[in-house]
Structure 1
Amino acid sequence: MTPGLKYLIRATFLYGNYDFENSPSIQFDLYLGVNLWKTIRLTDPTSYFLTEAITEATADLISVCLVNTGRGTPFISGLDLRPMLASLYPLVNASRSLVLLNRFNMAPNDGVNDHFEIPSKVMQTAVYPVNSTKMELSFTPDPGDLNEFYAVMYFAELQQNASRHFSVFLNGALLNDAKPLTPDFLTSDAIYSINPSAGYGELNISLVATESSTLPPLLNAVEVFSTMRNTNVATDGGDGNLLPRHCSWFLHEGMQWVMLFCFL
């Protein structure tokens, strides 16, 4: 790991009755370092659950821990770590990580919302309202998530010589420096909320055409995140070296994975 760089960490879970216990539900906590990332709740043994966090490394090691809360034995099916460009997700810093609430390709070619679709394919399609000048979307957080929302919306005009202008609202707050958005033809663009939308039980996104627009608003894709505050920071980057007795994996920098994978 390189301190100061951003990383995407994806954890996946599929029970599949691996322990032959036929557990109707399993619940445990997932931690990133010493900060609560997500409460994992599994009620269908045949469905997989995915969660992602985007975080900035503060040391040369990141730990991912599964914590037994007395509602079933914790387990994990997959764990991915990917470095990210520094220019992406500017809201992420040493004191704030983002947890994916949902990611939507608004108009997938095959009708399936694929979390792993390549960006160039996603930006080739879009949705827009029919016989309306307004588009609205709502997202509800999972239990235990902070009610602090950030949204990243992606736009590309697909119609040549279009006259399309619209304003973007997040829980009533006007984004894009309070200026209407005019997507460029076949050019990807994105806007995001700088400050969290806090104090709401859900996130509401509204795209409203201006009076001068002859076309309705459009949207190619959207990502919605809740906040993970990095309020608890290890006192020293080497503190993790005290924990291997609790861990099933402990891999050092220079190997394919740099993870401290703990069961507490």
Structure 2
Amino acid sequence: MKGFISIDCGAANPNNDPDLNIYYETDDGFVDSGHNQQVSSDFMYGRLRQSSKTLRVFPNGTRNCYTIRPTSGGNSSKYLIRAAFLYGNYDGQSQPPTFDLYIGVNYWATINFSSIDSYIHNEIIHVVPSADHTIQVCLVKTSTGIPFISSLELRPLNDTMYQTDATTLALYKRLNIGSNANIRHPQDVHDRLWWADDTNYTATTKFGRWNLTSDPVLVRRSDSYDVPVGVLETFSMADSTGSLSINWQTTIAADKWIVYFHFAEMVDLSLLRDFTIYINGKNLTKISLEYLTPVTIPSEQFTSGIGFNFRFVPTYAGQSPILNAVEVYYLLDPSRIPTALDDANAMNGIKTMYNVMKESWQGDPCVPTNFTWEGVNCSTEDPPRITSLNLSSSGLKGNMANSLANLTELEYFDLTANKLSGSVPKNLLRRASANTLQLRYVVG
């Protein structure tokens, strides 16, 4: 699919998933650390997807990162990013690890398995500024075991979907209400994973399925969410009280939440189904459902303690509100600012040109501060700038990299005890002559 990036982590060869109709590539070129493993033979059964049978493990270093370079353009790009994990007792120890997952420099989630066969997937909707052209997903060793990852997927989204001023939305729940089936690609053109309704909530509701003889032709003139028909054909409906009420408890402590309610009227009623939506007692909006016209209603950002109450109250007596699907997201803390882009690009250029294999040279050079690259010192401003770089005795060979000149805030730079040739960038020499840079090097 156009713009899809699907990585089967730890796989020796690319493969095609015939059920999803998705091509998975190996993680060559996306990551430069870790090694391949395969789940235990005890897990090679049933309908386990190929992308879950292999994994990449990271025994060395504190932080290890995948770098993805999407191809979509525009002023900003919006992506669904999904990371999946199946321990599968690959090491024969029957002790799943616990580790952290980061998107760029910001914390995403803690990966904690309840059993050796637990399958975990974490998903975000992430906006990448046009000035940046990379997405980094990092696994961070904490206290227990070795981090790993089974698959990593990126799906481009339309800018009209999931509109919010938040940089990153983390998925809490996406439910196919009233259904016992999971649905994703190819039924969902964006490859969102709609989980079967876990009914892990209390509700004044009954479940139903529209009596459809064939897939209806939906009117999507004002609908950019493309919720699959297979999701919209089931629903929950208010019980005899007339109001539909759903109470949800959550164990995630998040400051702000956003909910997306999805509706589709599949019965040609003489009087439109009309009702008001409330979240935690606050009026969100009133809607009328038109025949065969899907509607998505997003909430505003709201705060919540340990749970939610969603209530749908009919306008007219005798009508029953419905709900076909729901997505619940929480906002990730975006407070950490990454290293200035020119500095980060310069450092990655140095890493690539000289094949620097230092364990700490993963992810952002400066941020978070406890993961700053070896030999690098940074300013405390936002965004951080690289002020000191010690590459002495680093085994560097070849010509002096032109990207070195882009580190314009350097105050100290040591290149001694390497095998470099060529001339030092003039910008560095000028600054050394002006005594704004302490430059140590030997060429030739």
TM-score by length of 1: 0.82
| C-alpha deviation, 1:129, in angstroms | 2.2
**1:42-61 alignment runs, 5 A limit:** 42-58=113-129, 59-61=132-134
Q: Deviations over 1:71-109 (max 9, x none)?
A: 221111110011110100001x4x53100000111132x
- RMSD of aligned C-alpha atoms? 2.5
Distance 1:138 1:113, change over 3 A: farther
Correspondence for 1:207 among 295, 312, 325? 312
Gaps of 5+ in 1: 251-261
- Who is 1:192 aligned against? 298
| C-alpha deviation, 1:53, in angstroms | 0.5
Contact 2:97 / 2:113 at 8 angstroms: preserved in 1? yes
Q: Distance in 2 between matches of 1:52 and 1:151?
A: 15
State the percentage of identical aligned residues: 31
State the AA in 1 paired with 2:291: F
Matched positions, count? 241
Q: Distance in 2 between matches of 1:37 and 1:50?
A: 12
- Who is 1:151 aligned against? 259
| C-alpha deviation, 1:213, in angstroms | 4.2
| C-alpha deviation, 1:113, in angstroms | 4.2
Q: Does 1:221 align with 2:290?
A: no
- Who is 2:93 aligned against? 21
- Who is 2:393 aligned against? none
Q: Distance in 2 between matches of 1:41 and 1:147?
A: 21
Correspondence for 2:138 among 51, 55, 65? 65
- Who is 1:123 aligned against? 232
- Who is 2:247 aligned against? 138
Q: Distance in 2 between matches of 1:86 and 1:18?
A: 40
Structure 1 moving runs of 4+ over 6 Å: 247-250
- Who is 2:394 aligned against? none
Structure with bigger RCO (C-alpha 8 Å, 6+ apart): 1
State the AA in 2 paired with 1:100: L
Distance 1:45 1:247, change over 3 A: farther
Distance 1:182 1:34, change over 3 A: same
| C-alpha deviation, 1:120, in angstroms | 2.2
Contact 2:85 / 2:149 at 8 angstroms: preserved in 1? yes
Q: Which has the larger radius of gyration?
A: 2
Contact 1:132 / 1:216 at 8 angstroms: preserved in 2? no
Q: Does 1:161 align with 2:269?
A: yes
- Who is 2:335 aligned against? 231
Q: Distance in 2 between matches of 1:32 and 1:242?
A: 19
Q: Does 1:4 align with 2:88?
A: no
Q: Does 1:112 align with 2:186?
A: no
**1:71-82 alignment runs, 5 A limit:** 71-82=144-155
Gaps of 5+ in 2: 1-69, 189-227, 352-356, 364-370, 374-444
| C-alpha deviation, 1:205, in angstroms | 1.1
SS of alignment partner, residue 276 of structure 2 = strand
